[in-house]
């Protein structure tokens, strides 16, 4: 959703997200499919730490086929949307929404991909550059994010624009 909010899309077929179903674990395999469809285009996967763990086993498929496919993980150590709803509608009772995560950069390396861990904002740019320039293997970029950051604005389910939540 952050990608949808902040990425200004200029051309058709350049933004692919699971819209109606909202399936976690969709982003990386969809990027894999897009890369096979358009091998000459720059394809990136932008995923969450929760979703990526649902389909990350196919990193090996990307490695096997030598795909130049950067995978950026916005890692907030939580099932972000669940945590956000719990913040707003369940008085901050974070039932089963906080994640203990593996080291994704090392997982990438174990699969034969490149792995980068980003812990500070000033490291983001060079990590992005490295990932986008990496040829012939996927590059897993694990970006540590603020666990409290919400995806806003938000119109709560079944309400109207007048009830829009603009800030925390």
Using CB under 8 A, list all residues that contact another protein.
1, 4-5, 7-21, 23, 25-26, 29-34, 36-38, 41, 43, 54-55, 57-58, 60-61, 64-65, 151-155, 157-162, 164, 166
- Supply the Cα-derived Rg of the chain in whole angstroms: 17
| Count of C-beta atoms within a 10 Å radius of residue 109 | 14
Contacts of 44 (CB under 8 A, 6+ apart): 31, 69, 70, 71, 72, 131, 132
Smallest distance from another protein to CB 101, Å: 20
Taking CA atoms, 117 is separated from 108, 111, 143, 145, in Å, by: 10, 16, 6, 11
Smallest distance from another protein to CB 8, Å: 4
* Cβ proximity to another protein, 64 vs 148, nearer residue: 64
CB 161 within 8 A of CB 92: no
Smallest distance from another protein to CB 50, Å: 15
* Cβ proximity to another protein, 29 vs 77, nearer residue: 29
Instruction: Could you list the beta-strand ranges (E) of 10-152.
Output: 45-48, 70-75, 114-118, 139-144
| Euclidean distance between CA atoms 89 and 154, whole angstroms | 12
Smallest distance from another protein to CB 110, Å: 14
Smallest distance from another protein to CB 41, Å: 8
* Cβ proximity to another protein, 92 vs 158, nearer residue: 158
* Cβ proximity to another protein, 13 vs 106, nearer residue: 13
* Cβ proximity to another protein, 103 vs 159, nearer residue: 159
């Amino acid at each position: 959703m952050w990608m949808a909010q902040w990425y200004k899309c200029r051309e058709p077929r350049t933004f692919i997200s699971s819209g109606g179903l909202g399936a976690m674990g969709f982003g990386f395999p969809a990027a894999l499919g897009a890369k096979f469809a358009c091998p000459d285009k720059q394809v990136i996967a932008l995923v969450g730490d929760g979703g990526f763990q649902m389909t990350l086993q196919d990193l090996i498929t990307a490695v096997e086929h030598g795909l130049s496919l950067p995978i950026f993980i916005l890692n907030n150590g939580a099932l972000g949307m669940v945590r956000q709803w719990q913040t707003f509608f369940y008085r901050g009772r974070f039932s089963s929404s906080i994640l203990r995560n593996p080291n994704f950069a090392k997982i990438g390396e174990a699969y034969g991909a490149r792995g980068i861990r980003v812990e500070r904002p000033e490291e983001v740019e060079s990590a992005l550059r490295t990932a986008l320039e990496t040829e012939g293997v996927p590059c897993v970029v694990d970006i540590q994010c603020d666990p409290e950051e919400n995806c806003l604005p938000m119109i709560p389910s079944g309400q109207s624009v007048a009830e829009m939540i603009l800030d925390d």
